[in-house]
């Protein structure tokens, strides 16, 4: 009997979206392999992992501080005592200096977003080019798509609702868990002051916890819980377009309004992709985004169309990753999956 293969998933700690995807993937892979997730335990504990998925506390804050300061020699922070047959690494190409048996899972690279063009990363990219990169079939940066061999997969998880609910009137306002820059904080704080005076016309607003205050309830503004009960009330979501929040909303057919003012290259590209696929609309001003959302909620035929567009996206991407890993262990040639080209042609 063949020995069960061991897989390590190194999850990005920058925001909860990366971690949630890693958990969904780990739960799927653990049905066939021994899976460990390297991540901060206090963050990953927010999600439900299968009993046979091992959690290894992994502090990567030092790495983040160094890369954000645009320094290069940072791979010394990757210390792995355990041996694995393969490492699946989310957004940290530096791991290739320590573990050659690594497959990247990335829709973008931080060194591209931060525009760090150095010899250090050029050498890393040569190593990355020898293996495929697993990316979302829509939200893969132009940089990665152009330079590397991409294995596209669908959104992780399944589409959750069978039918469009025309009774929903809620609006979600969320900017993710990652840090915001100074200019964004200023505009958001000004927006929060003005939001209380807006007539929300019986439309409840759900605001992310870090900006919520108890007295907001009297203005029909509530603390966002990001659970199934809250999402069941949301018709439109105003978000910073990170893939985690995008997936949470699209999996429920929620119409997306993105806010990208003074944000980085990743969010700008994501917002553009949402618009190109008729599943999102971008704004540079929060008040305008909210006013438009309130008008949009009354246009049920538009919301229903967006619901159908989201439903028709490719889901259950974790199953496709399992197939990629199976092919890799079976020494099969990893080639570009052309079914996505066919699906995209049908849509266009």
Residue 116 and residue 26 share a domain: yes
Instruction: Report which of 87, 123, 100 is spatially closest to residue 11, judged by C-alpha positions.
Output: 87
Number of domains the chain is built from: 2
Angle formed at CA 112 by CA 108 and CA 113, multiple of 5 degrees: 75
Residues 62, 133: Cα–Cα separation, whole Å: 25
pLDDT per residue as tens digits for the range 2-54: 589 999 999 887 778 888 999 999 999 999 999 999 988 888 888 999 999 99
Residue 306 and residue 186 share a domain: yes
Whether 36 contacts 53, CB under 8 Å: yes
Indicate the SS3 state at residue 20.
helix
Residues 303, 286: Cα–Cα separation, whole Å: 20
Q: Is residue 163 part of a domain?
A: no
Q: Is residue 139 part of a domain?
A: yes
Whether 87 contacts 102, CB under 8 Å: yes
Residues 195, 212: Cα–Cα separation, whole Å: 12
pLDDT per residue as tens digits for the range 290-302: 999 999 999 999 9
Q: Is residue 75 part of a domain?
A: yes
Q: Is residue 244 part of a domain?
A: yes
Q: What is the CATH number of the domain that holds 100?
A: 3.40.50
Residue 149 and residue 53 share a domain: yes
Residues 113, 5: Cα–Cα separation, whole Å: 34
Q: Is residue 335 part of a domain?
A: yes
- What does the radius of gyration of the chain's CA atoms come to, in whole angstroms? 21
Q: Is residue 164 part of a domain?
A: no
Higher pLDDT, 61 or 280: 280
* pLDDT exceeds cutoff 50 at 240: yes
Q: Quick one: average pLDDT of 312-324?
A: 95
Q: What is the CATH number of the domain that holds 239?
A: 3.40.50.2000
Q: Is residue 222 part of a domain?
A: yes
> Mean pLDDT of all residues in the chain?
85
Residue 298 and residue 250 share a domain: yes
Instruction: Report which of 116, 118, 139, 93 is spatially closest to residue 266, judged by C-alpha positions.
Output: 139
Higher pLDDT, 219 or 255: 255
Residue 190 and residue 150 share a domain: no
Whether 261 contacts 280, CB under 8 Å: no
- The tokens describing 235, both together, are 């018709």
pLDDT for the residue 337: 44
Residue 204 and residue 136 share a domain: no
Full domain range(s) for residue 184: 170-311
Q: Is residue 162 part of a domain?
A: no
Share of the chain above pLDDT 70, in %: 84
pLDDT for the residue 346: 65
Instruction: Report which of 75, 35, 82, 74 is spatially closest to residue 54, judged by C-alpha positions.
Output: 35
The pTM (predicted TM-score) of the whole model is: 0.87
pLDDT per residue as tens digits for the range 98-134: 888 899 999 998 888 888 888 888 888 998 988 889 9
């Amino acid at each position: 009997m063949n020995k069960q293969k061991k897989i390590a998933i190194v999850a990005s700690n920058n925001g909860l979206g990366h971690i949630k995807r890693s958990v969904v993937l780990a739960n799927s892979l653990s049905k066939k392999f021994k899976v460990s997730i390297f991540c901060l335990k206090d963050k990953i504990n927010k999600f439900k992992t299968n009993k046979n998925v091992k959690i290894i506390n992994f502090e990567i804050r030092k790495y983040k501080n160094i890369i954000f300061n645009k320094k290069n020699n940072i791979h010394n922070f990757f210390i792995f005592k355990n041996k694995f047959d393969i490492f699946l690494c989310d957004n940290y190409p530096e791991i290739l200096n320590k573990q050659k048996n690594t497959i990247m899972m990335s829709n973008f690279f931080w060194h591209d977003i931060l525009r760090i063009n150095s010899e250090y990363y050029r050498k890393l990219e040569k190593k990355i080019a020898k293996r495929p990169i697993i990316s979302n079939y829509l939200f893969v940066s132009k940089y990665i798509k152009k330079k590397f061999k991409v294995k596209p997969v669908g959104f992780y998880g399944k589409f959750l609702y069978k039918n469009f609910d025309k009774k929903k009137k809620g609006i979600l306002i969320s900017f993710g868990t990652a840090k915001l820059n100074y200019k964004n904080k200023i505009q958001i704080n000004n927006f929060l002051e003005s939001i209380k005076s807006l007539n929300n016309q019986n439309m409840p607003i759900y605001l992310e916890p870090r900006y919520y205050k108890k007295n907001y309830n009297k203005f029909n503004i509530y603390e966002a819980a990001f659970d199934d009960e809250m999402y069941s009330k949301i018709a439109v979501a105003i978000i910073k377009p990170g893939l985690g929040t995008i997936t949470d909303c699209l999996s429920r057919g929620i119409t997306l309004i993105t806010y990208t003012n003074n944000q980085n290259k990743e969010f700008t590209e994501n917002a553009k992709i949402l618009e190109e696929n008729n599943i999102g609309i971008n704004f540079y001003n929060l008040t305008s985004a909210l006013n438009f959302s309130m008008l949009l909620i009354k246009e049920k035929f538009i919301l229903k169309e967006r619901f159908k567009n989201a439903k028709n996206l490719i889901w259950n991407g974790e199953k496709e990753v399992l197939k990629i890993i199976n092919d890799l262990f079976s020494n099969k040639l990893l080639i570009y999956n052309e079914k996505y080209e066919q699906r995209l042609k049908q849509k266009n």
